Amino acid sequence: MAVRWNSEFFIAVEHRDLQANAMAVNNTGTYVLLAGRRYIAIRNLDDIDNDQIKKFPRQSKYEVGSAEWNPTEHHSELCAISSNQRLEVLTWSNGELTQTHSLRAHTRVITDLNWHKTDPNILASCSVDTFIHIWDLRDARRPSLSLSAIAEATQVRWNVINNHLLATAHDGDVKLWDQRKGTAPIQYISAHLSKIHGLDWSPTSETYLATSSQDCTVKFFDTNNPRRPDSVLSTNAPVWRARFTPFGNGLVTVVVPQLRRGENSLLLWNTDNRGTPVHTFIGHRDVVLEFEWRKQKSNDNDFQLVTWSKDQTLLVWKIDPFLQKLCGHEPEDTAGEDIMEELTKTSSPKVQALQQEFSLLNVHIPNLDVIKMDVNKRTCTVRVECNKGTALIQVTFPNAYPHGVPPIFQIAQGSTIDNSLSNQLLQTLNHVAQQRVIKNRTCLEPCLRQLVATIEQSNSDSVESKKQFEVNYIETNMFGTFNNTYIPFPRTSGAKFCSVSLLVCFGRAIPPRRASNKADAPTPRALSALGNNYGSKSRSNSTVTVSSYYYQKPRRSQGQGRGIKAYVVVYDTSNLFFVNKQLGEKYILDGDVGTICKYNANIASTVGRLDLVQAWTLAELVVSPQQAEEDMQWTEHPFGTQLMQSLITHYATQSDIQMAAMLCCIFGKEQETASARKSSLKQFLIPGLLAAGKRWHKVTNFDVASLICMA
């Protein structure tokens, strides 16, 4: 366990041994519950200096899906957790956690639970089994009301103001229920085309509902007019949860944990101005699993946000009055003049521009830690580790930045690198910043990326190569605002089957000279590897691109040489497959069976399929009238039915569905009556095509069913 502080979050504790994936804060904000497969733990947030945490072992093979404390004063000691198909109601009293109820009714995994906002005995749960159960703890043997939704339910939420209304999410739809009006939904909202991950009712309006979805949007609906959303908030990633703030018009969003895109921050929005977030909570090193608001203490103007992440770290954030102001809330404070002055500074265009740059900054650049970003003081402090020590860089942004004025870079106290490397870093940062602000562009992220590239280069360069080091400015049009670690490098070779019997291959040709050329190197895993490894070997004014990495201009002494070319080769692979396009175009099905077999044998001979020539010749002999008495059909011949059945089965089991289907179609035509015809088809298909169909997958584009229907 470790405790640390920051300018934004004032409590941070780690409990890596818990491996918890669910969190809940009680209604007083005093206790936080952390639940996982092995333990349920409770910690006192008011006594954070005390390292004591109560841990209670769980004897279960299932993870905890969700957890929630009772929000009412009457039963504030109760909390509920879901585990697979069961709900467990626990009581926290006198430092002990005991189970009081075990609720069983769902037949599939429980996806969500929610306590009633005013009735301390009512609890709702939803499941993959499509049911929403409403439980009354006074009679917990069975649900007091069961609602069937047909589709699986992923979220359930009681209305904050209307005690009888609740909402549930089903894939991309929302259903509203009134427990007084039976088991049918009273309203249906087609909200999203993608899955809904979160629901939240407005704390101030009975009819206002927010939905967060996989489609990277948060939609706000007025249930009085649910046909279209009242407004839409668009983000850059799928939204896991979107919850209203207990003040103003704020909303907090977090990305879907399963994506793991490196987006570990929470975003604070003003729903009246949805263009960009007003603040970004930076601190977690892994995806956020849960967040809740902590009840505000008396005589305290700072609201608090509690978050729990995959890295098993618990953070408690203070929402300062100036952030509340950005969300449309007017804090009541005796020191109002100081706050208003701070808010006035924060709301200025220059501050908003810098705050937007801070909020869009990718804080997960490899080997870089963003320690502090202060919008009011217009400073940013970062730390980079290298084999020569630690570099602490403080960046100060003048008021005129970025309009022709670059930021000021300083080596902060606590750095352990030598003067030579310090001067080199400052020179690099100033050069990159100057190139950007000349064009009135922001430069923080390009500078930080070049800072990391320069230090990594210093780690790998020899003493001789250090003397020849030149600044390599990576143009941010290529690398600027992307998280390059997660962008795969473009393909340099590949092969794919296209249409029927064509194989297309492409690749880079290996240059005949210089075995150490970069073209011989393996393809990098990501674009970031290209930028980090290319630094010292390129000119200072060159732009690193995929083309420049592989294809370099020939030297004058090599004027007669040609550049490296990439080739695309198309192969005819028709001989590798049983299905042949030419045979499919030239085969015939109409006419006398003997004539058909003879004609198709000639067609097979033209494409070099001698095995098919023998098969068609044998089929012609089977139906030849000279081989039997005049009044005997070929099906009654000793070598008739059994021979054709064996022939069809052979080609079907060899995955030559084209030949097997042709034989079925042609010999099904020989029967005189419809009933006999169907019997003959079934006789050939059952042992042949249908039995071998299990072995036939995606080898041909021919529709075998269509061929059979032609018989």
Contact 587, 603 (CB under 8 A): yes
| pLDDT digit string, tens, across residues 430-444 | 888 888 888 778 889
Question: Residues 543-570: what's their mean pLDDT?
Answer: 57
SS3 511: coil
Predicted local confidence at residue 700, as pLDDT: 38
- The Cα 143–Cα 87 span in angstroms is 12
What would the mean pLDDT of 570-586 be, rounded to a whole number? 81
pLDDT at 173: 94
Amino acid 134: pLDDT:
95
Q: Which pLDDT score is estimated for 161?
A: 93
Q: Which residue has the higher pLDDT, 357 or 55?
A: 55
pLDDT > 70 fraction of the chain, expressed in percent and rounded: 73
| Sheet hosting strand 31-36, strand order edge to edge | 20-25, 31-36, 39-44, 54-57
In the structure encoding, which two tokens stand for residue 514, read together? 């210089």
Query: pLDDT per residue over 41-98, tens digit each?
Result: 999 888 766 767 889 998 888 999 999 999 998 889 999 999 999 999 999 988 899 9
List C-alpha distances in Å: 6 to 52, 228, 343, 385, 387: 22, 42, 21, 20, 27
pLDDT at res. 323: 83
Q: Which residue did the predictor score with more confidence, 7 or 291? A: 291
pLDDT of 620 reads 84
Structure letter (DSSP) for residue 636: G
Q: pLDDT value at position 347? A: 54
Q: What is the predicted pLDDT for the residue at 579?
A: 79
DSSP E strands: which ranges in 282-338? 288-294, 303-309, 313-319
Domains of the chain: 235-328 (no CATH), 360-457 (3.10.110.10)
Alpha-carbon span 358 to 375, nearest angstrom: 8
Nearest to 209 by CA among 222, 218, 196, 225: 222
Residue 311: strand, helix, or coil: coil
Mean per-residue pLDDT, 153-169 = 94
Dihedral sign, Cα of residue 197, residue 216, residue 231, residue 268:
positive
Whole-number pLDDT of residue 191:
92
Percent helix / strand / coil, the chain, rounded to 5: 30, 30, 40
Confidence of residue 12 (pLDDT cuts 50, 70, 90): confident
d(CA 508, CA 522): 11
Residue type, 95: G
pLDDT band at 633 (very low <50, low <70, confident <90, very high): low
Q: Which ranges of 229-363 does DSSP label H, i.e. alpha helix?
A: 321-326, 336-346, 349-360
The string of pLDDT tens digits covering residues 311-325 is 888 888 888 887 888
Residue 541 is encoded by which pair of tokens? 């004014």
Is a pLDDT exceeding 50 seen at residue 526?
yes
Under 8 Å CB-to-CB from 13, ≥6 apart: which residues?
A: 1, 2, 3, 43, 48, 313, 314
Residue 465 pLDDT more than 50?
no
Least confident of 205-209, 312-316, 524-528: 524-528
SS3 (DSSP) at 465:
helix
Dist. CA 156–CA 198, nearest whole Å: 9
- The pLDDT tens digits for 185-200 are 999 999 999 999 999 9
Q: Please, what is the average pLDDT of the chain?
A: 78
Cα(368)–Cα(384) distance, rounded to whole angstroms? 5
SS3 for 450? helix
Q: How big is the CA angle at 240 (ends 236 and 245), to the nearest 5 degrees?
A: 95
- Residues for the chain: how many in total? 711
Give me the phi and psi of 684, to 5 degrees please.
-85, -35
Query: Are 396 and 407 in contact, with CB atoms under 8 Å apart?
Result: yes
Phi first, then psi, for residue 227 (nearest 5°) are -65, -35
Return the number of other C-beta atoms located less than 10 Å from residue 425's C-beta.
22
Interacting residues of 555 by C-beta distance below 8 A, sequence separation 6+: none
Task: Give the C-alpha separation, 690 to 129, whole Å.
Answer: 36
pTM for the whole structure: 0.52
* Gap between the Cα atoms of 492 and 506, Å rounded: 8
* Residue of higher predicted confidence among 302 and 219: 219
Count of alpha carbons within 13 angstroms of residue 426, beta-carbon side: 14
Q: What is the pLDDT of residue 564?
A: 58
For 222, the enclosing helix (H) or strand (E) is strand 217-222
Residue 634: pLDDT over 50: yes
Q: What pLDDT, on the 0 to 100 scale, is given for residue 629?
A: 54
DSSP annotation of 154: -
DSSP state of 687: I
Token readout for 25 is 């804060």
Q: Do the Cβ atoms of 330 and 343 come closer than 8 Å?
A: no
Q: What is the pLDDT of residue 466?
A: 44
DSSP bridge pairs for 467: none
pLDDT of residue 10: 62
Beta carbons within 10 angstroms of residue 235's beta carbon: 19
Please compute the mean of the pLDDT values over residues 103-109 and round it to a whole number: 93
Q: Could you tell me which of 191, 283, 199 has the C-alpha nearest to residue 239?
A: 199
Question: Quick check: 533 pLDDT over 60?
Answer: no
Query: Is it the case that residue 109 has pLDDT exceeding 90?
Result: yes
Q: Is the peptide bond before 512 cis (omega within 30 degrees of 0)?
A: no
Task: Give the pLDDT band of residue 531 (cuts 50, 70, 90).
Answer: low
Contact 262, 483 (CB under 8 A): yes
